[in-house]
Amino acid sequence: MTEKFKVLYYVNQFFGQVGGEDKAGMEPIYKAETIGPAMGFNGLLKGEGEVIGTLICGDNYFNENKEEALNYILNAIKENNPDIVVTGPAFNAGRYGMACAEIAKAVIEQLNIPVVTGMYIENPGLDVCKDKAIVAEVSDSAAGMRKALPVMAKLVKKIVKGEELGLPAEEGYIPQGKRLTVIVEKRGSQRAVEMLIDRLNDKEIETELPMPVFDQVDPAPAIKDLSKATIALVTSGGIVPVGNPDRIQSASAQKWGKYDVNGKDGLFEDYCTIHGGYDPVYANALPDRVAPLDMLKKYEKEGYIGKVFEYFYTTTGTGTSVGNAVKFGTEIGKELKEAGVDGVILTSTWGTCTRCGATMVKEIERYGIPIVHMATITTISQSVGANRIVPTIAIPHPVGNPDLPAEEELDLRHKMVKRALDALSTEVTESTQFE
């Protein structure tokens, strides 16, 4: 290739040097310059290619307005006609990962342009795009940027040149679930016997054909009579009593909290958010916008449900490992089952928070308790395996809209929680969204 190949780079508002959470709602823009990680990436191409421009979009805007964001981004890519598109790396940032993944998928499917991105193995965006895009395996935080970019640059150069990629472990990308033909010295029967001998001698072995893990939970039966049902409220949105008495972590949570809400009409001024992943202003003004205890109490008084369970459960989902999310859901589910709870509403906010929440949903549902997941980024909830999903308003205030007049917001919140309650009384056979 005599001419330099052209790369178009996508980043979020943080890496685009626009701002932090305060700019998460920014609409996509295109700049014909290298910005943020695109600058370092451009240097790694060593004159063989060049980054011709950077696309920037706020994480919240993309995930709350996917169709509009993709339309702008795809048009910008078509106008600039790059040879390859790079997104991220997103590390373990869920909202950013979903944006990188959705863009990668759309670019490959609609424009037939290859895409390279980078994600931590637990990023919820991975399952959206790994069978189409090449996803470099990176660390869980931006501290790994210096290691991530060289791997991604190497992959980009090979793809653009039409060179065949080696095995994932050799090249540093995440397996796509595809079988590759390789030539080896020993035939299969000999390798199998040697592997068996190693296993019998307690030596470490590595399968040549790892099988995908499908972790779906059968939907629990619907509640027959809501007017006699006990409903529990759970959130991964970091809503805790003021002062955070149990010292639940603001990110990468290691624990969950349980608080007595018997006799309370809502969370109100006694609670706040400690969640490190979204703008806390709206939640702190009214914590029930994240965990709608006040609306559940209204339905209790109206006789629409039997009663609200006396305890409220909470943790912080941002950056929380899948393993811990499984543990939290299992422990909370056991308590709820033993207490005779009939149904659960679980709310989530941003990307990894939604992944954490959906994972907890599955573990609670394993106890046979119907549970509905209220979340804004429903694609994450669905991909993780939640069976009943209610789309919400926005990441910082999933069950509310502070832009509305007070009475209109109250009506909106009342209707949303009713939709969630009705979902608990509706039989489903697969993941279903209630809109």
Could you identify the residue written with the tokens 């490992």?
Answer: 321
Say if residues 282 and 25 touch (Cβ distance below 8 Å): no
Half-sphere exposure of 146 (CA within 13 A, CB side): 1
Q: Edge-to-edge strands of the sheet including 115-119?
A: 29-31, 49-57, 5-12, 84-91, 115-119, 134-137
pLDDT at residue 418, as a whole number:
98
Comparing CA positions, the residue from 356, 139, 141, 121 lying closest to residue 253 is: 356
Q: Flag whether pLDDT at 2 surpasses 90.
A: no
Alpha carbons 337 and 42: distance in angstroms, whole number:
55
* Ordered domains of the chain (ranges, CATH): 5-171 (3.40.50.2300), 226-433 (3.40.50.2300)
Alpha carbons 387 and 358: distance in angstroms, whole number:
9
Residues 315-369 pLDDT 10s: 999 888 888 999 999 999 999 999 999 999 999 998 889 999 999 999 999 999 9
Q: Flag whether pLDDT at 214 surpasses 80.
A: no
Say if residues 113 and 84 touch (Cβ distance below 8 Å): yes
pLDDT at residue 311, as a whole number:
98
pLDDT at residue 124, as a whole number:
85
| The two structure tokens encoding residue 293 | 């205890």
Say which residue, 77 or 214, is predicted with more confidence: 77
254 Cβ contact partners less than 8 Å away, ≥ 6 residues apart: 324
Comparing CA positions, the residue from 19, 96, 102 lying closest to residue 379 is: 102
Q: Flag whether pLDDT at 10 surpasses 50.
A: yes
Residues 31-66 pLDDT 10s: 999 999 999 999 999 989 999 999 999 999 998 899
pLDDT at residue 212, as a whole number:
56
Beta partners for residue 409, in sequence order: none
Helix (H, G, I), strand (E, B), or coil: what is residue 45?
coil
pLDDT at residue 351, as a whole number:
87
Alpha carbons 268 and 429: distance in angstroms, whole number:
36
pLDDT at residue 218, as a whole number:
94
Phi first, then psi: give them for residue 257, nearest 5 degrees: -120, 155
Residues 238-264 pLDDT 10s: 999 999 999 999 988 999 999 999 999
Please provide the distance, in angstroms rounded to a whole number, between the alpha carbons at the two ends of the chain: 51
| Mean pLDDT of the region 83-108 | 94
Q: Please state, for a pLDDT cut of 90, what percent of the chain lies above it.
A: 80
Q: Quote the DSSP letter at residue 386.
A: -
Beta partners for residue 9, in sequence order: 54, 86
Could you identify the residue written with the tokens 């931590």?
Answer: 120
Comparing CA positions, the residue from 280, 279, 278 lying closest to residue 242 is: 280
pLDDT at residue 1, as a whole number:
46
Helix (H, G, I), strand (E, B), or coil: what is residue 175?
coil
Task: Classify strands 84-91 and 29-31 as parallel, antiparallel or unpaired.
Answer: unpaired
Q: What is the pTM of this model?
A: 0.74
| Mean pLDDT of the region 276-287 | 93
DSSP string, 125-163: THHHHTTTSEEEE--SSGGGHHHHHHHHHHHHHHHHTTP
Say if residues 294 and 281 touch (Cβ distance below 8 Å): no
Q: Average model confidence (pLDDT) for the chain?
A: 93
134 Cβ contact partners less than 8 Å away, ≥ 6 residues apart: 114, 115, 116, 117, 155, 159, 165, 173, 176
* Other residues' Cβ atoms within 10 Å of the Cβ of residue 110: 12
pLDDT at residue 306, as a whole number:
97
| The two structure tokens encoding residue 272 | 């706040």
pLDDT at residue 136, as a whole number:
97
Query: Would you call 80 exposed, middle or buried from its count of C-beta atoms within 10 A (0-12, 13-18, 19+)?
Result: middle
